[in-house]
Amino acid sequence: MKTLVVADTVWTGYPANPVFEPGVVEVEDGRIVAVGPVPGPRPAGPGVMDLGEAVVMPGLVNAHAHTPMSLMRGVAEGVSLLTMDGFLQTLRAHEEFLTPELVAASVAVSCADMIRTGTTAFADQYFYADEIVPTVERSGLRARVAWGIVELGDDEARARELAATTAFVESTDPAGVIRGWVGPHAFFVDNQVEAIRAEVDLAVRLGVGLHAHFSTSSEEDEHCLAEYGRPALHVMKDLGLLDVPLILAHCNTVPVDQLPLLAGTRATMAVIPSVAMQSGAPAAPVRAALDAGVNVALGSDNVCNNTNVDLFEEMRTLGKLAAFTSKVPNQVTSREILDIATAGGHRALDGGPDDGRLVPGAVADLIAIPISDIARGPRGAQSLESALIYCTSGASVRSSMVAGRWLMRDGVVGTIDAGAARAQQQADWDTLLGRKVAAEGARR
Ligand SMILES: [Zn+2]
C-alpha cells in the first residue's frame, strides 16, 4: 500500500531540487517512489499522512555507535577514553562484569534515544552483537551491527572471534534492514595483521563491511612506520581494506597528505566532533577530506564518551569545531554538514547511491520537525539548511519513518517502551555495580 507523506516543507537533500513547499513524498514497499510539490489541493484520505506545518527531511545516520554502552553513561566523565589509561580505569573496569543478559535494555534505551532525536539508521560495534540485534529489530531502525573483535595477536582468540563473527553475520538477512558486519576494534592496536587479512577475506566472502576505530591517536601510524616503514593507510591499502565497505571511526589524527588514498574508495571517515572536544583530541580534518573526495559521515560514539546521541547537536558541533580550529567561519557549510549526516552516512553503511535523500528509488527513511520548533531567520536572510543545523535540536523531531514504517508519531516512539527499558537498565546497572563492588571486596 502506498503512503503519501505531505508537509508544508519537504527538504530533499537533492542539490538540483532541494525544497518543495508544500511537498509530498510517496512511499511504497519501503522505498520512495515519487517526490514533488503538492499539485493543486492537498491530498487527503486513506494512506495520506499530512504533517502540516512541518519540515520533512531524510533521517540522520549515526555511523559510529556502541548501543549497549548507555548502561555505563556517566562513568567516564572527566576522563579521556581515547587514552589507554582512561579506557582501562573507567570502561574496562565496568565491562569486565558485563554479561549478555545486561545488554538488551541498554540497547533499547539507545535505540529510543536515537529515534527520539532523528536518527533512522546506525552502525554499531560491540561485543555481544547477537544480543543487540533482536532489540534493534524491535526498534525498527536500520542498522549495520558489527561483531567487535579484539584478538591481540593470539591465535586461539583470533580463530574463536572469526568463527563467531562468521556465524553472526550469516544469521542476518543480506537484504534486511539489519545486517551483521565485521568489527575489528582497532587495526594494528588490538587486531594484528593476520587478523586483518582474515577479516577482509570474510567481508568479501559475506558481502559485508568492516567497522573499526582509526586514528584516535597516532598509534597505528607509529606501529606501521616501525614495522613496515610506511604509514598505516598505505599498509591498509595493500591489505585490501580500502576495497570493502569500511567505517573508520574518529580519524582525529589522520595525516591530511594521506587522505587522497581514501578518495574514491569504499572507506568512510566517521567523525565524532563532540568526542574529539571532550577528550581533548585534535579535530578530524573534515574540510580536507571533503576536498580530497573522501566520504565523510557523522557518529556519536558511545555515550560514555559523548553523553548523548543527538546528531543535530553533533552536526552543529561539527560546524563550530571546524570553524574554531581552522579560524575560517563556515569552513564546512550547512549544506555539506547535512549531506554528511544523511547521504554520507548511508554510503558508510553501504547503502544505495540515492539513499539519504528524498528521491525516487531511495529508502523511505525520513523525519519531521514542526516549523514552530525551528528558530529560523527571515527567508532570504537564513537558509533552511543553516536553520536545521543551528536553530533546532533533536528534541524537536516529532515523526520518524524507516523503510516506510512509522517508528515515532507526534513525539511518541511506538516501537520501544523507553520507560520500561530505562527501569530495566537501572536494575542492570545495579547488578553490574554489585558485581564490581563484590569483586573489589574479595580482592582486598
Ligand atoms: Zn567507538
Per-domain residue ranges of the chain: 3-58+356-413, 60-348
- What's the CA-to-centroid distance between 248 and ligand 1, angstroms? 10
Query: Taking 90 as the threshold, does the pLDDT of residue 243 lie above it?
Result: yes
Mean pLDDT of 435-442: 94
- Reply yes or no on domain 3-58+356-413 having CATH 2.30.40.10: yes
- Dihedral over Cα of 210, 163, 207, 203: its sign: positive
- What's the CA-to-centroid distance between 64 and ligand 1, angstroms? 6
> What does the angle CA 279 – CA 284 – CA 286 come to, to the nearest 5 degrees?
145
Comparing 3-58+356-413 with 60-348, is the CATH topology the same?
A: no
C-alpha cell at 32: 520512495
Q: Report pLDDT for 85.
A: 80
- What's the CA-to-centroid distance between 43 and ligand 1, angstroms? 45
Query: Taking 80 as the threshold, does the pLDDT of residue 82 lie above it?
Result: no
Cα distance between residue 204 and residue 202, in whole Å: 5
Q: Is the peptide bond before 360 cis (omega within 30 degrees of 0)?
A: no
Query: Taking 80 as the threshold, does the pLDDT of residue 81 lie above it?
Result: no
Q: Report pLDDT for 96.
A: 94
Fold entry, domain 60-348: TIM Barrel (3.20.20)
Q: Three-state SS for 212?
A: strand
Q: Cell 598505505: give the residue.
A: 234
Cα distance between residue 347 and residue 362, in whole Å: 12
- What's the CA-to-centroid distance between 280 and ligand 1, angstroms? 16
Mean pLDDT of 186-204: 96
Q: Three-state SS for 31?
A: strand
Cα distance between residue 247 and residue 260, in whole Å: 16
- What's the CA-to-centroid distance between 249 and ligand 1, angstroms? 7
pTM above 0.85, yes or no: yes
Residue range 351-398, pLDDT digits in tens: 999 999 999 999 999 999 999 999 988 988 999 999 999 999 999 999
- What's the CA-to-centroid distance between 285 and ligand 1, angstroms? 18
3-state DSSP percent of the chain in helix, strand and coil, to 5? 40, 20, 35
- What's the CA-to-centroid distance between 39 and ligand 1, angstroms? 46
Residues 6+ apart with CB under 8 A from 344: 61, 63, 268, 295, 296, 297, 298, 356
Mean residue pLDDT across the chain: 95
- What's the CA-to-centroid distance between 300 and ligand 1, angstroms? 8
- Dihedral over Cα of 39, 42, 43, 49: its sign: positive
- What's the CA-to-centroid distance between 66 and ligand 1, angstroms? 7
